[in-house]
Amino acid sequence: MRTLVYTPDDARRWAAFSGDYNPVHFDKTRGALSIHGMRALLDVKRFIEPAAPAAQWLKCMVRMRRPLWYGASYSLEADEKRAAAASVIDPAMAQTCLSCQLTAHHAADETAAASQSVLSVDDIAALERAFTPLLAQATRWQFLDALLFRHLIHDAALLRQDVIASCLPPGASLEKIFSQCQVVQTHQELVFHRSLLLPWQSGTFTHALKIDVLPALVVGDIKSGAVVRIAAAIREENMTISNAITLKIGLLAAN
C-alpha cells in the first residue's frame, strides 16, 4: 500500500508535458480542483507493473470513477482478488476513485489508421526531457502511453474526422472544447508488446516515430452529453503500443 497526495505543482508538471490545461485542474472558478487522471495513473501503472503476466502482449485496462482532489490523501492498494491490479481508494469515503489492471492479451490492435503523422527526433527529445520529472524509474510503455495521450488531445486530424467534426462547431480547437465543455476521462485501454517493459530514460528513442490515429467512436451528442472514444498507435517491430481513451463530453451550463 502507498499513500498518494497530489498538488497543483504535480498538475503543472503533467500539463507541461502533455499540454492538457483542462480548466477542471486549474480554474478555481469551477470549484474544487483535481489532479489529471493520467498523472495519477503513472503511479498506479508503475505500482502494478512488477506483477505483469509473462505474455508477449499485455493489456492495461483503466476505469476512472471519481476525481482525486489536491491535498487529499489516497491509498494505492493492490487488489487481493486480481493479479497485477490495484485501486486508488479515498479512505475518508471508503470509495474507489480509479482502478487499473494488467492482463495477458492475444495480439496488437490492427485497426486501420484514419490518419498518420510523424514525430520528429527533436520533438521526441523535448518530450523525453519534459517527462523525466514525472516518474522515477519509468519503463518504455509508460512513456509511450503518455506520448500517445498527448498526441491524441492535440491532433488536428482527429478533430477533422467526420464523426468528431459533425458534433463540434466549425474550427473547433482543444482550447475551445475545454472552455465550452466539461471533459472527463472515464476509461483507458492500452495494448503493448512486452519488450516495452524495458527501462526508459531520456534519450531512449533516437529515431522519428510514426503515429497512427485510429477511427473515433461517438455515442450521443455534445448538447445532451456524448461518450467519445479516441485511439492512437505506434506500430514498429518490438515497439508496438495502442492507446484508447474514453471521454464524457458535455456543454457547460453557461453554453
Check: CB of residue 222 under 8 Å from CB of residue 233: no
Q: What is the pLDDT of residue 253?
A: 62
pLDDT of residue 181 exceeding 90, the answer is no
Check: CB of residue 117 under 8 Å from CB of residue 107: no
Q: What is the pLDDT of residue 224?
A: 81
**pLDDT > 70: what percent of the chain?**
99
| 34-47 mean pLDDT | 97
The C-alpha angle with vertex 47 and arms to 43 and 51, in degrees rounded to 5, equals 150
**pLDDT > 90: what percent of the chain?**
76
- Residue 138: alpha-carbon gap to chain centroid: 15
The larger pLDDT score, comparing residue 247 to residue 250, is at 247
Give the start-to-end residue ranges of the domains of the chain: 2-251
Q: What is the pLDDT of residue 182?
A: 84
pLDDT of residue 163 exceeding 80, the answer is yes
pLDDT of residue 195 exceeding 90, the answer is yes
Q: What is the pLDDT of residue 29?
A: 85
Query: Which contacts qualify for 171-176: CB closer than 8 Å, 24 or more apart?
Result: 174/19, 175/21
pLDDT of residue 35 exceeding 90, the answer is yes
Residues 179-216 as b or e (16 or more Cβ within 10 Å = b): ebbbbbbbebbbbbbbebbeebeeeebeeebebbbbbb
pLDDT of residue 255 exceeding 60, the answer is no
Q: What is the pLDDT of residue 222?
A: 80
Q: What is the pLDDT of residue 254?
A: 57
| 221-233 mean pLDDT | 90
83-130 pLDDT, tens digit per residue, is 999 999 999 989 999 999 999 999 888 999 999 999 999 999 999 999
* Gap between the Cα atoms of 109 and 211, Å rounded: 13
pLDDT of residue 196 exceeding 80, the answer is yes
Average pLDDT, the chain: 93
Q: What is the pLDDT of residue 230?
A: 95
Q: How far, CA to CA in Å, does 77 sit from each of 72, 74, 91, 145, 252?
A: 16, 9, 11, 22, 34
* Fold of the 2-251 domain: Thiol Ester Dehydrase; Chain A (3.10.129)
Cα-trace Rg, the chain: 18
Task: Annotate 12-51 with DSSP letters as a single string.
Answer: HHHHHHH----GGGT-GGGSS-B--HHHHHHHHHHHHGGG
Check: CB of residue 242 under 8 Å from CB of residue 109: yes
